[in-house]
Amino acid sequence: MLLNMTDLLKVANEHSFAVPAFNIGTGMILNGVIETCEKLKAPVILAIHPWELEFNGDAFLQMVLERAHRTKLPVCIHLDHSEWGPITRAIRAGFTSVMIDASSKSFEDNIALTKQVVEYAHAHGVVVEAELGTLAGIEDEVVVESGKEAYTRPEEVEEFVTKTGCDSLAIAIGTSHGAYKFTAAQCTRNADGILVPPPLRFDVLEECMKRLPNFPIVLHGSSSVPQEFVKMVNQYGGNMPDAVGIPEEQLRKAAELAVCKINIDSDIRLAMTGNIRKYFAEHPDHFDPRQYLKPARQAVKDMVAHKIQNVLGSNGKA
């Protein structure tokens, strides 16, 4: 059941949980996400980044659309981090939600561009997520160095939402894209030598909530980079020094507040890669993708189930 994002986020807002937006990078991830969400009766946002569209080709989008129409779950197909050209193409292709990411531009330019997208999208029955503040990491084609990010300024959110007419707002409170979210200098280390990141800025979130009552807030860059998978990657030939993410209890707290959509991509990729590396190390003579992708497929499902049940609280909410 293909819905638009406003309908999904409204329920999440009212019932203090968050809907996961999982990036759909391959067909295997698509199936793992949908099958797990169906089993757990959890609404889901299928987020597709323009790079994922480019990698998979047009037939992939048809497959995602067909799968989204076929499931009884409330789902939304969302174009992640994008700009005017890809957004208009995505709307014509059947996406029900798009994100305009003009967060690297000035406040005025971000408003102008977002407003233009909102007018076009709303005229086609599609909803728009916008972003204010910048996350560190890779967003679209803009690389923001760790330490150069800028938290959302709560005093700007009302003006931004009113002037643009956007339907949800991604804010920057200390999350960041990718598996290397923080520099060592930004963190402390625990007894095992693992980086401990600075806490999320709940004061910024709460101030935004006061200024935008009941408005859906979004968190990007919300992978937790579980250390068991970093360890697995490193143990079986990989090298991911100081990979670290956002502690899950902080995301759980955000989901209970006004955060209605939480974006997760890296954790799924990390769990797949750890399992594939392990398989190759343990079966050096195997070369059949149906063999080595089996544990990766299970890893997608396990990660999705864990996030839904233990972090976002969206199980049983479909």
- Please state the closest distance from residue 17 (CB atom) to Zn ion, in A: 20
- For residue 268, the Cα-to-chain-centroid distance in whole angstroms is 11
CA-CA distance, 182 to 174, in Å (whole number)?
Answer: 10
Whichever of 134 and 292 has its CB closer to ligand G3H, that residue is: 134
Look at strands 142-144 and 137-139 and give their pairing.
Answer: antiparallel
Instruction: Look up residue 235 and give its two tokens.
Output: 């143990």
- Please state the closest distance from residue 22 (CB atom) to Zn ion, in A: 12
Whichever of 67 and 261 has its CB closer to Zn ion, that residue is: 261
Whichever of 228 and 285 has its CB closer to ligand G3H, that residue is: 228
Vertex 70: Cα angle to 67 and 72 (nearest 5): 115
- Please state the closest distance from residue 191 (CB atom) to ligand G3H, in A: 25
Look at strands 97-100 and 127-132 and give their pairing.
Answer: parallel
Cα distances from 273 to residues 133, 159, 167, 231, 308, in angstroms, run 31, 43, 35, 11, 21
Q: Which of 66, 56, 6 is nearest to 34 (CA)?
A: 66
Q: Torsion over CA of 110, 8, 51 and 287, rounded to 10 degrees?
A: 160
Which residues contribute to the site for ligand G3H (CB under 6 A)?
A: 23, 80-81, 177-178, 220-223, 263-267
Pick what 52 binds: Zn ion, ligand G3H, none; C-beta below 5 to 8 Å, kind-dependent: none
Pick what 129 binds: ligand G3H, Zn ion, none; C-beta below 5 to 8 Å, kind-dependent: none
Whichever of 221 and 313 has its CB closer to ligand G3H, that residue is: 221
Tell me the residue type at 291. Answer: Q
Whichever of 81 and 277 has its CB closer to ligand G3H, that residue is: 81
Pick what 13 binds: ligand G3H, Zn ion, none; C-beta below 5 to 8 Å, kind-dependent: none
DSSP 8-state secondary structure symbol assigned to residue 174: S
Question: Which member of 78, 220, 269, 278 binds Zn ion (CB under 5 A)?
Answer: 220
| Catalytic site positions | 80
- Please state the closest distance from residue 191 (CB atom) to Zn ion, in A: 32
Pick what 86 binds: ligand G3H, Zn ion, none; C-beta below 5 to 8 Å, kind-dependent: none
Pick what 23 binds: ligand G3H, Zn ion, none; C-beta below 5 to 8 Å, kind-dependent: ligand G3H
User: Which residue matches tokens 């329920």?
Assistant: 11
- Please state the closest distance from residue 287 (CB atom) to ligand G3H, in A: 30
Enumerate binding residues for Zn ion (CB under 5 A).
220, 263
